[in-house]
Amino acid sequence: MAVEGKAKLQTADADSHIKRMEKLRGYAESHGDRRELSGALAAAVVSNKERDYALENGFYVIEPSGEDVKITKPDADPKVWQAGAASSRNVPVVSCE
């Protein structure tokens, strides 16, 4: 999982992370790494608008919650960047709860 960390999450950060994930997938594949990659956005300040945007784009969102950290999984299947694929795909996630 590739995590982008920010002080304050912006919608443009999700757009940039999508491009970064595509580059990372290409780099990994060029080095023989065919593992599926998923992404997350972490920030100290996350508004509802930015959280929803990141989740709609298939990213996990990591943010403070009191003295803990809250990890929110997208409502739909998280986006996965897959080796050999022209684009990403959504796959089901197995819960560890």
pLDDT band at 93 (very low <50, low <70, confident <90, very high): very low
Q: Please say if the pLDDT value at position 95 is more than 90.
A: no
Residue 95 placed within a domain:
no
The pTM of this model reads 0.82
Please name the amino acid found at residue 80.
V
Determine the structural domain holding residue 73 and report its residue range.
2-90
Closest by CA position to 40, among listed 55, 23, 22, 19: 55
> What is the model's pLDDT at position 94?
41
Place 89 in a pLDDT band, splitting at 50, 70 and 90. Answer: low
71 CB-near residues (< 8 Å, 6+ apart): 40, 60, 61, 62
Distances (CA, A) of 48 to 19, 23, 25, 51, 63: 23, 28, 29, 5, 12
**Assigned domain for 86 exists:** yes
Give me the number of domains the chain comprises.
Answer: 1
Q: List pLDDT tens digits, range 18-35.
A: 999 999 999 999 999 999
The answer to whether position 97 is within a domain reads no
User: For position 72, what pLDDT does the model report?
Assistant: 96
Torsion of CA 54, 90, 1, 13, to 10 degrees: -20
Closest CA to 17 of 34, 42, 36: 42
Residue 52 lies in a domain: yes
Residue percentage of the chain with pLDDT more than 70: 87
